[in-house]
Amino acid sequence: MSSSHDTVWAALANPLRRRILDVLADGPSTTGDVVTTLDADRHVVMQHLKILRDADLVRVEPRGRERLNHLNPVPLQDAVGRWFSRYEQDWAAALVGLRDTLERDTSATPESIDRSRRGA
């Protein structure tokens, strides 16, 4: 996995950072609005926003004296897509196998499906 994906996963590891992203998913917010919404310490929120910016999950738009924080979902989509892609083929094969089992035996029960998986 690339270091940019590692940075995204590391940023997501903290529950407050995930809550900040949830707030920004509803639309751009100033840092003050994020602080108010989360009822959190301003300094703490600013530290977490910096980590989210470093992971490119948040982009900042200066507007006069204010700074609007925008969610940037692209790095998250890339990291999740890359992680899930490792398992998609296995999941697809399992679903095809389930379909084939059910089509062979229209009266299949969970027990008969389990037996067919074990090769019984």
Question: Which DSSP letter does residue 57 get?
Answer: S
Give the residue, 23 or 77, on which the prediction is more confident: 23
Q: Say whether pLDDT at 92 is over 90.
A: no
d(CA 14, CA 10): 8
Cβ neighbors of 116 (< 8 A, separation 6 or more) are 101
Token pair 């996995």 is found at 1
Token pair 């992680």 is found at 83
> Band of the pLDDT at 87, cuts 50, 70, 90?
low
**Do residues 107 and 33 make contact, with C-beta atoms less than 8 angstroms apart?**
no
Q: Say whether pLDDT at 1 is over 50.
A: no
Residues forming beta bridges with residue 21, ordered by sequence position: none
Q: Say whether pLDDT at 114 is over 60.
A: yes
Domain spans, the chain: 3-72, 75-117
pLDDT over 90, % of the chain:
57
Strands (E), the chain: 29-30, 58-63, 66-71
Report the mean per-residue pLDDT for the chain: 85
Q: Which two tokens mark 69?
A: 């924080």
Mean pLDDT of 62-75: 94
* CATH value of 3-72 in 3.30.420.10, 3.40.718.10, 2.60.120.10, 1.10.10.10: 1.10.10.10
Token pair 């990291």 is found at 79
> Band of the pLDDT at 106, cuts 50, 70, 90?
low
